[in-house]
Amino acid sequence: MAAQKSAQPAPSSTRRSEKSRRAIYGAALALVGEVGYPRTTIEGIAARAGVGKQTIYRWWSSKADVLLEAFLDLSEQASRDAGPEYEFAIPDTGDLAADLKAVLRLTVDQLKDPRFEIPSRALAAEGVVNEQLGRVFVTKLLEPSLMLYVDRVRAAQEAGQVRPEVDPRIALELWVSPLAQRWLQHTGPISYEYTDTLVDYALYGIAPRTR
């Protein structure tokens, strides 16, 4: 379960200090939350963690890389805390619209949780400009969540609630992307009413229903 290995680091060794690793994660997340991403420095993280700078440079390639792993660790920890065998998934009550609305409401709450907001904003921003990091961010954090929607949409297709020729991977973007963009770029407010509306539009379209 543990041991994320990044691309380049891998100097070698099992002598690595677990205590330092955790202290670095904690310091990085704390600093980003307190002073923001741009003013979070490697030197600051090292000092706060009570660690030599070399210990950071030995195992990570950049500030963004440290924060990415710290955030991945936080996410894993959070999902472990949510229950030992609780696997997050989208409910299937048979009513696709209701299920999607329920999950999106949870997402809205999570997007507003300050514990997640600043680090994920920082990572998303870095990913926009740094394609390599962006791909890791998307692959490890975003894509797994999106696949849950793919599964749920496929189930709905089998239940005849979604047209069979619809591509689930594109369909999910009809509600995920608008929410993501409003959050990321501050292009509009985020509310339960908003996400409910998105689901309705996505399912039934904006054209008149009786053609």
Structure tokens at 37: 């991403």
Closest C-alpha among 194, 200, 7 to residue 107? 194
Binding mask 103-122 for a copy of itself (x = CB under 8 A): ------------------xx
Residue 19 beta carbon to DNA: minimum distance, rounded to whole angstroms: 7
Among 47, 72, 142, 148, binds a copy of itself (CB under 8 A): 142
Q: Does 50 bind DNA (CB under 7 A)?
A: yes
Interatomic CA distance for residues 195 and 179, integer angstroms: 7
Among 178, 190, 191, 192, binds a copy of itself (CB under 8 A): 178
Note the Cα 205 to chain centre separation in Å. 28
Q: Does 138 bind a copy of itself (CB under 8 A)?
A: yes
Among 22, 53, 80, 169, binds DNA (CB under 7 A): 53
Structure tokens at 78: 């959070």
Q: Does 5 bind a copy of itself (CB under 8 A)?
A: no
Any residues with CB less than 8 A from the CB of 153 and at least 6 apart, and which?
Answer: 96, 162, 166, 168, 171, 172
Burial class (CB in 10 A: 0-12, 13-18, 19+), 155: middle
Dihedral, CA of residue 139, residue 145, residue 151 and residue 154, to nearest 10: -90
Binding mask 25-44 for a copy of itself (x = CB under 8 A): -----------xxx------
Q: Measured in Å, how far apart are the chain's first and last C-alpha atoms?
A: 53
Which residues are at the interface with a copy of itself (CB under 8 A)?
36-38, 121-122, 124-129, 131, 134-135, 137-138, 142-143, 146, 153, 160-163, 166-167, 169-171, 173-174, 176-178, 180-182, 184-188, 194, 197-198, 201-209, 211
Which residues are at the interface with DNA (CB under 7 A)?
11-17, 19-21, 23, 39, 41-44, 49-55, 57-59, 62-63
